Structure 1
Amino acid sequence: MTLAYLACALFAALGFYLGCRHQRLWPLGEGHARLAHWAGWGFSLLSLVAAIRLLGVWAGVFSALTALMLVLVLLPYLDGWRQLRKGAADVG
């Protein structure tokens, strides 16, 4: 169950990040960005439910949100690192 809420938090963060028009990790069309954003909301809800079932209400809420925030912080750094490896000069 721990892996379930962590994986859902990862997919939720990916959905939110890939739905942003400023990301270059995986360019999406306008129609897919909305779908990615909705998938982010769905996976964040699944992550929250799984963490609450495993840890209880407050510990589950804080654990699921902490995992989501960690991935949301790391994704822009991963994106920038990939752009630097490609030789992009306008990262940052």
Structure 2
Amino acid sequence: MITLSALLLNLAGAALVYLASGQQTLLKAPLRVTARLAGWVLILAGTVCWLIVAGAGAGISATLTTLMLAWVILPYLAWWRGPDAAETDTR
């Protein structure tokens, strides 16, 4: 259960950090700086969970792998949605 928590915390944190970036294209405007800070706090909490479950070396590796996976998938998700997806009005 802690492994799933670690994975979800890292994925949520990575998503917040990505969505707070000026380079993201999933949203019309990037999230505020507080979202980026919250993302880093979630990543830190996920790292602590990984360290509890797997130990130091494997925990750090699992954190970095999870972050890499999220930060590679999110831009492809934005690309898949299309160039106008962030600008469309969903009223």
- Give the TM-score of the pair, scaled to structure 1: 0.81
CA drift of 1:27 comes to: 3.1
Aligned runs of 1:1-92 on 2, under 5 Å?
A: 1-28=2-29, 32-84=31-83, 86=85
Between the aligned partners of 1:20 and 1:84, the Cα distance in structure 2 is: 17
Between the aligned partners of 1:74 and 1:85, the Cα distance in structure 2 is: 19
Between the aligned partners of 1:70 and 1:85, the Cα distance in structure 2 is: 24
- Runs of 5+ consecutive residues of structure 1 not aligned to the other structure: none
Read off the aligned partner of 2:61 and give its amino acid letter. F
- Give the TM-score of the pair, scaled to structure 2: 0.82
Between the aligned partners of 1:68 and 1:9, the Cα distance in structure 2 is: 7
List, as ranges, runs of 4+ consecutive aligned residues in structure 1 with deviation greater than 4 Å: none
- Runs of 5+ consecutive residues of structure 2 not aligned to the other structure: none
Read off the aligned partner of 1:40 and give its amino acid letter. G
In angstroms, what is the RMSD of aligned CA positions? Answer: 1.9
Tell me the alpha carbon deviations over residues 68-87 of structure 1, each in whole angstroms, 9 at most, x when there is no partner: 1111111000011112585x
CA drift of 1:22 comes to: 2.1
Read off the aligned partner of 2:78 and give its amino acid letter. D
More helix by share: 1
Q: Secondary structure at the match of 2:32?
A: helix
Paired residues in the alignment total: 85
CA drift of 1:55 comes to: 0.4
